[in-house]
Amino acid sequence: MGPRPRKENGSGKPKNEKAEKKVQKLKEKNVEENLKRIEEAEAAAESSEDSPFLSDSGEDDDESLSEDNGSISESGSEQSKLSEDEDVVRAGDGGNPTGASDDDTDHSSGDSLGEGDDNDDYHGEDSHGGSDDSREVVEESDSSEDEVAPRNTIGNVPLEWYKDEEHIGYDLSGKKIKKKERQSKLDSFLASVDDSKNWRKIYDEYNDEEVELTKEETKLIRRLLKGKAPHADFDPYAPYVDWFAWDGAKHPLSNAPEPKRRFIPSKWESKMVLRYVRAIRKGLIKFDDKPKEEPRFYALWDDSTPAERQGLAYIPAPKPKLPGHEESYNPSPEYIPTQEEINSYQLMFEEDRPKFIPKQHTSLRSVPAYEKAVRETFDRCLDLYLCPRVRKKRINIDPESLKPKLPSRKDLKPYPTTCYLEYKGHKGPVTTICTESTGQWIASGSKDGTVRIWEVETGRCLQVWDIGETIEEVAWNPLTEFPILAVAAGQDVFILDTGCGSHEQQKKIEELLHVEPQKATDDSDISASIVNWVRDDRHGGIRLKHFKTVTKVEWHRKGDYLSTLMPSGESQSVLIHQLSKGLTQRIPFKTKGIPVSTAFHPTRSIFFTATKKDVRVYDLLKQKLIKKLEAGVREISSVAIHPGGDNAIVGSKDGKLCWFDMDLSSRPYRVLRCHPKDITGVAYHRSYPLFASCSDDCTAYVFHGMVYSDMNQNPLIVPLEILRGHSSADGRGVLDCKFHPRQPWLFTAGADSLIKLYCH
């Protein structure tokens, strides 16, 4: 029993007939429009090249594309004209135009108007909720989707988190984006029939909207599906450009040997032949009467011993290559080349061309004779005859096993790796630097004649002295209570008050730098004529006037003694000054050769003097030579002593860095060839197992040098880092390097007037 039809106003029959006629007219009209649209879509698909899906059945391809994309089948299409007409019918007579029952109306217009109902429900966004949850619909354009900002602002949050919610995210204004109702596959198919451009549309699951592809995007997809380049402007078969011009004159037209008529006999060879002939005639050259006859022939590949056949050692014959699937009379189709491949073989070089081309035969009886059988047999005989019959004994050693096992650099941290700070201010190459014992200040000297005091952590220039001559060396006093600086410039040595100490320290420094007249003693080594001690009012300190150019200044560990070096001073080239008494004396040793550098022992009363060829070690108390270290280099440039006092490093002008273990030998324990140019400076760290070298190649090398207390264990030397950053000026690079006294930091002074601080 069906539901009873309702009657309105007592008379519904005329209205039902009018509504049925109107619906029938709409059906006929919609059928005609659908047929026209289908014909237009088929004509457009045949004529235009917009669709990237080229196949025999367009509709099946479109449907398969919708199934592959997953989201197209459920996206739905735009509202068709049929749904608009249905709205007109419904709005005709106050909501129910026919006046008949709702069931009859639905059944009578269900076939033609059902699609419109679904589309109305799909696009009706206001029916889902209030105005707070609604969102504006952005009109789709032909522009690329990448140019439009996404509506959904949830970021990288997966959409699975919203599968149980009524929304999929939030828009830019913070409002919820409601989910759209999914369309059934039947409705989606009907919509695709009505809309000729439905194959262009894809469903964006992230923003819950449809996106229509442009013509350019469809062309790009079509080219990608065909395996072509995405852009039509790209030419995969560009003409070949021969970048090399070969000189044909190097290859002669003929390879024939020179004829004998062009041979010119050598005059000297003819004279030598005459000398041999005369020696043979005189009996000076004698020959054996009868040489021993040896068997001319023997079996080359037999199993007899060398003693039996009196030949070479037995070598097994090389085995020929075994036939594979290609040599079969009925090979698989993948082994048979096509005619194009056979033609391409003719264009290849003969050595690259395959020796055998497989062919397919119906039976083994139909296989013809092999045309290259004689040739290959001859080549096999040549291989056996020309085989090198020399047995070589080779030792298979892994090259990695020969390398010394060094610890990882990560385990040897900290050490300086990167440039942290630059100190700018000098106008000429910075020749020397020195750090204060507390590590708060650093002094530098340059060829522009200035000495500067810098604050290490900030790079602020604290004080500047204009000496007027090239600064050869600067050295801080090792005692923290006396922050005074020794400067070597020309023939003078200045002892300056830096003003970096406290008020009490400044009073002690003023008393220490007070010049008293030199006392004459009976000792011949002490003489007032060697060095004049003068008060320097201009720079605020003491000025020691020498008779030759001073190149090196070194402080004793107690801070009261100071050594100066004058390479051209001959017997008085090395002098030692006592600051508290104002006295000067030369060392009681005869220096052989031109001294280059000097150094005090860090814990004992031992003095090191380096000449161009060797390093001499003297005992100041016993006044005698202890040891002579022979570096074996072209010319020594610098020397540094390990804080323990038993090891030393020596830099040379041929780029070699020598490590000396003075308890082990007078020869270098290790020679490191790291720099291609002259080494200008070497330095040890006071507390960390680090040492460094700098060179004119604008680099500074940092090494790990661990000295063990066990006498049976050798020092461990590991290269760590190569520090770059300085630029070359007048052929010079890094001129000096010094370590921070407390931190694993390295200071470098370059010819580019910069001082760089490298930290870990």
CATH code at 510?
Answer: 2.130.10.10
Range of weakest confidence among 190-204, 476-490, 667-681: 190-204
On whether residue 513 sits in a domain, the answer given is yes
* Residue 450 pLDDT greater than 80, yes or no: yes
On whether residue 625 sits in a domain, the answer given is yes
On whether residue 502 sits in a domain, the answer given is yes
Of 298, 293, 367, 269, residue with least CA distance to 327: 367
Three-state DSSP class for residue 471: strand
CB 500 within 8 A of CB 477: no
Which residues, at least 6 apart from 558, have a Cβ–Cβ distance to it below 8 Å? Answer: 478, 479
User: Both tokens of residue 409?
Assistant: 């650099």
| pLDDT averaged over every residue in the chain | 78
Tally of structural domains, the chain: 2
CB 592 within 8 A of CB 514: no
Distance of CA 675 to the CA centre of its chain: 23
Going by pLDDT thresholds of 50, 70 and 90, the confidence category of residue 650 is very high
| Side-by-side strand order, sheet with 647-652 | 636-641, 647-652, 656-661, 670-673
With pLDDT > 90 as the criterion, what percentage of the chain qualifies? 29
d(CA 505, CA 620): 31
Q: Can you give the pLDDT at residue 315?
A: 65
d(CA 530, CA 512): 21
Last residue of one domain, picked from the residues 225, 254, 283: 225
d(CA 35, CA 43): 12
Q: Can you give the pLDDT at residue 250?
A: 61
On whether residue 705 sits in a domain, the answer given is yes
d(CA 67, CA 61): 10
On whether residue 389 sits in a domain, the answer given is no
Amino acid in the structure at residue 479? L
On whether residue 616 sits in a domain, the answer given is yes
Count of residues in the chain: 760
CB 482 within 8 A of CB 508: yes
* Residue 442 pLDDT greater than 60, yes or no: yes
Going by pLDDT thresholds of 50, 70 and 90, the confidence category of residue 390 is low
Q: Can you give the pLDDT at residue 75?
A: 36
The b/e string for 47-61 (b: 16+ C-beta within 10 A; e otherwise) is: eeebbbbeeeebbeb
Secondary structure (DSSP) of 606-669: EEEEEESSEEEEEETTTTEEEEEEE--SS-EEEEEE-TTSSEEEEEETTSEEEEEETTT-SS-S
* Residue 3 pLDDT greater than 60, yes or no: no
On whether residue 297 sits in a domain, the answer given is no
Going by pLDDT thresholds of 50, 70 and 90, the confidence category of residue 10 is very low
d(CA 241, CA 312): 55
CB 716 within 8 A of CB 730: no
d(CA 555, CA 561): 6
* Residue 749 pLDDT greater than 90, yes or no: yes
Q: Can you give the pLDDT at residue 518?
A: 52
d(CA 665, CA 254): 68
Place of tokens 């804080």: 643
On whether residue 698 sits in a domain, the answer given is yes
Could you tell me the residue range of the domain that residue 54 belongs to? 13-131+183-225
Going by pLDDT thresholds of 50, 70 and 90, the confidence category of residue 38 is confident
The b/e string for 23-41 (b: 16+ C-beta within 10 A; e otherwise) is: beebbeebeeebeebeeeb
In terms of average pLDDT, the best of 199-208, 251-260, 283-292 is 199-208
How much of the chain is in helix, strand and coil states, percent to nearest 5?
A: 25, 25, 50
Q: Can you give the pLDDT at residue 124?
A: 37
With pLDDT > 70 as the criterion, what percentage of the chain qualifies? 76
User: Both tokens of residue 65?
Assistant: 């594309």
Distance of CA 148 to the CA centre of its chain: 37
